Chains A and B, each alone.
Chain A
Amino acid sequence: QSVLTQPPSVSAAPGQKVTISCSGNSSNIGSYYVSWYQQLPGTAPKLLIYENNKRPSGIPDRFSGSTSGTSATLAITGLQTGDEADYYCGTWDSSLSAGGVFGGGTKLTVL
């Protein structure tokens, strides 16, 4: 069972917008920056969003992140079939000696 809670799956049509939630508590999301990772089928996870809402170079602005209290949200607009992947939120946790914690992952299906 993961420390952070994500919905197992979300789906939307091409061109639409989808959001993925990530819920934690005061010792993790409430205390540390949140990152989001995209894992395309058969590949390693890749950094998508860091420090709650920043995008690494090369990540399109269709991807955005936000936080509020002990929750975080990843939004993807203008969905493309190539966005089909598993998405994970991650942060650190002071109750685990500042160790890393992740959500269980959300499978995005572009219908």
Chain B
Amino acid sequence: QVQLQESGPGLVKPSETLSLTCTVSGGSVSSGGYYWSWIRQSPGKGLEWLGYIYYTGSTNYNPSLKSRVTISTDTSKNQFSLKLTSVTAADTAVYYCVRRWLSRLDPWGRGTLVTVSS
């Protein structure tokens, strides 16, 4: 059974870069057919898709964030990562890593709260 776990700093200063890692267990980021995704949820708000990386290495990002988002994989560690540059208070959210298979998003990590504040 595949499990995902997010890790990274819980506090980031404005204008700096948010960096998170998702460790995959019970499966491989190199497995065919899967898209490794990041989704966030601002406090009290809905879900926002940030982007994904396909097992081939191709990526697709939310157009509203495209210039600031980078998703990459580290197959040696079976991890994938998110970098979001030039953060502001509006980027404060719970960040989830999620596997996409065909049209569905499953499973989800537990999520990690990232607060942007000086």
- Residues of A at the B interface (CB closer than 8 Å) are 2, 32-33, 35, 37, 43-47, 50-51, 56, 88, 90-92, 96-105
Contacts and interface: CB of A to CB of B under 8 A. Distances in A.
B60 A90 contact: no
A2 B48 CA distance: 9
Contacts of A32: 103
Contacts, number: 68
A96 B62 CA distance: 7
A2 B83 CA distance: 23
Interface in B56-107: 60-63, 96, 100, 102-107
Contact of A47 (B52, B106, B111): B106
A50 B101 CA distance: 11
B21 interface: no
B108 interface: yes
Contacts of B104: 33, 35, 47, 50-51
Interface string B23-47: 0000000000000010100000011
